[in-house]
Structure 1
Amino acid sequence: MVFGFFKKKKHQQNVRVLEDGSDAESGIRFSSELVPRLKSDHQELLVIYQAIQKRFAEGDLGGTVSKLADFRYLLQDHLLTENVRFYLYLSQQFAEDETNSELIRGFRQEMDAIGRIVLRFLDRYEKMADDHGLANSFLQEFGEIGAVLTKRIKKEEQTLYPLYLPHY
């Protein structure tokens, strides 16, 4: 019994304290670089989106498809980072706060649905350079995707990202 006390005490002394003041065993840790990185991803996605528009307007279907691949790569990386680092951190921080937990869960579910739609869109149009018939419906769908993503980015940056704070 006494040895268990010393063992536990020794373990507590060796626990590494993270930048948010929690210990390494408490789950996903806060990263002061995460939200700036996610915002930077948003800006880069918008730049790539505009490059896709430009290439398509010029009739460069091969260049359009190439930029769509760049968009896919960055979007998938962004979504993975958001899911693994951002949403899990917020979920653990607000586990006892039903209102914010529901807000976070709703944002996550909405983004999962948007992500699936965008990835299906990218799957469909990655063959556009070989199947020029796809170009007829591309612009309208691309505009719809852009409108949804722009609205979502604004919502995330104004409503959700401010919740990402160190735990004290």
Structure 2
Amino acid sequence: MWRPTVTLLVAVLLCSAGCVAPALREPTITLSGVGIENVTPGSTDLSLRLVVDNPNPVGATLARVSFDVYFLDDGEWAFLAHGERGGFAVRANGETAVTIPVTVDNLRLVQGILRGLADGEVTLRVSGSGVVDYSVATFEVPFDRTVEVRPGQATTAAKMK
């Protein structure tokens, strides 16, 4: 009768000795570009391309990404749009590209484009954070990036600061 108990105890000890997880390192999220997907009379659909860099040997879930898009208007950041999405699988030991759509009201966008025509480019700022969930630990990772878009440019991989 003691044999199953000893076997169970040995199995638990062996498993716990080999299952000690190394400390997880914080992932990073960066904006790699902004693209124009669709234009209608009332709105424009943009796509924001984010890259999640996971330095850990286990995969995760990008549970939520929330961000605001601004344009530079006479030296001040003017709100353009808000986006939020989640549920993306993040691979272990590498980068995962994620594309998130956001719809912009054309009146606000036209203000930015008119400013851009005067200046030769529109400066956009994307500021937000993502929640990366490893099941045993969760990280909230902020990101903030400025992108300069030239009018007539369909996709922006342009100057990024």
Same fold by TM (over 0.5)? Answer: no
Q: Which has the higher strand share?
A: 2
Asked which structure has the greater RCO (Cα within 8 Å, sep 6+), the reply is 1
* TM-score, normalised via structure 1 length: 0.29
* TM-score, normalised via structure 2 length: 0.30
